[in-house]
Structure 1
Amino acid sequence: MAESILTVRNLKQHYKIDQGWLKVDSVVKAVDGINFEVFRGETFSIVGESGCGKSTTGRTILRLNEPTDGEVIFEGQDISRLSYEQMRKLRRKMQMIFQDPFASLNPKKTVRQILLEPLRVHKLYTPKERLKKVIKILEIVGLSEYHIDRYPHEFSGGQRQRIGIAKAAVLNPELIIADEPVSALDVSIQSQVINLLLNLQKELGLTYIFISHDLGVVRHISDRVAVMYLGKIVEISKTEDLYNNPLHPYTQALLSAVPIDHPNEVKERIILTGDVPNAVNPPSGCSFHPRCPFAMDICSKVQPNPSVHDGGHTVSCHLYE
């Protein structure tokens, strides 16, 4: 049985909106009671439309945002209860790759300074060993010592993302959360960065949580996939099971929008009606029911419970209860 590295239980991230002294404050339920487990060495992907809460989930797991409620258990330890100093030490093992490599790299620092900083902060190695480590990680991500004294603006977008990946990997972490790591890159560069992430995973024994809206990329890189809608996870499955047999109507609609692989392929496109509901005032019952082509009376009244099917395929939908 695969070893669990991360367990998320009833995780919530709610934001209060100040309406002024004449009105009652509203609450945005960005992440609303999600549960999942990540196994050591796998790539666990989270997909969904913009605004569904997938990026907030990644940031909350790392406590870049403090969770409103719930537990994040990393290697048997509930990190949501740790002090600032304890969390700071643990960050060696948990790193993040951000969507925009230019925004996540300090424009005033060279590559040398950017990559040496985490090693210095965590007091790892001697100064000479640190430099060797930086040069080695640069070579692993496809750059070289030649680039070490350049600034971020002197690189292309793809090269900047490689530096961002090197920054996350230089500490030899156990878990990396990659938040839309290729969405800001040209299509021709995306495959190179994806292959780099896969090679790093093999070489360093990494575990990934991969956050993306690109279902084609997700299929290529993932072992398991969780589908999010309006702050909740509606389906979790092994990648091939999800793509070959999607159970939730929302997942079916998402996958129907993936471009075809061959001109002769015939695919029925599922067009969802209406817009994504407001997270400040989500629908009662199942949050997807206003847009669901199979909605029943119970869907608007009762929140569906997750049900488990063949191969651990989990879905939250009244159609399968």
Structure 2
Amino acid sequence: MHLMRSAALCALALLMAGCGASSSPASQPTSSATGSTPPSTPITVVASTNVYGDIVKQVGGDRVAVTSIISDPAQDPHSYEANTQNQLALSKAKVVVENGGGYDDFVDTMIKSSGNSSAEIINAVAVSGRTAPAGGELNEHIWYDFPSVAKIADRISAALTKADPASAATFTANADAFKNKLQPLVDHEAKIAADAGGAAVAITEPVPLYVLDAAGLKNLTPEEFSEAIEEGNDVSAEVLRETLALLSDKKVEALVYNEQTSGPQTEQLKKAAEDNGIPVVTLTETLPEGEDYIGWMTANLDALQAALAT
């Protein structure tokens, strides 16, 4: 998803007057892996979404104060509008975590206009090492790629250590604990691949493709469809008919549906799946309220496994 479309325009407006939207700071953590006394002043961290905000909290424990710019699970990331609160938070941040890959370019724009040249900026796509395939486009949704998330946790640990060297052991221990929790997710993907590897699925957008690939599933959705939906564009009538036929002809075993950016054409796919008895696996781009990253991804994999077993 490219959050930059509306946010970049709004970021320009911020230079003159600012624009209206809401930003919710992430709740403060209460403990760390070592249980030692936290410093009086936590490290200020800004994350572009609450996905990265949660990972920062997992690694930083009570030594970080995190603000997640996009934290509303009902918010369509396409229509997000940055505001002056975001600008203020970024101006004070010691560490900034952005996705990169064109997903949240508004963060870079706002950092530059904030005057904060000392913040440590973590670009998750760059950390992941993921690149576009030959002749294709980069899938920037790397928080659905667990090996990349492990690398990001280590990079966050390094950045926090730079800001608070006395807490280095805590950050390392917390990052290791978080990475240990990622391994069951990798194992779960392998279990799906063993049980249903090669099964065909359809998607509304590229968001889950790293998980689907790791689980050995085949995405039959025309690229023109998922790319158009990702960019917020209408799908041509011909491509829509081709995609709907995957469901009406029962060529796929599940539809993986991003409910956070639904619209009339994705709703048509969902209805076609339901009408033809094809399970719909509902995913989001940001953390649902009250969940952490590990619990969220575990639920996603459980839902995918259950759909393929139907």
Asked if these proteins are the same fold (TM beyond 0.5), I'd say: no
Greater gyration radius = 1
**Which one has the bigger strand percentage?**
1
TM-score, with length taken from structure 2: 0.30
Structure with the larger helix share: 2
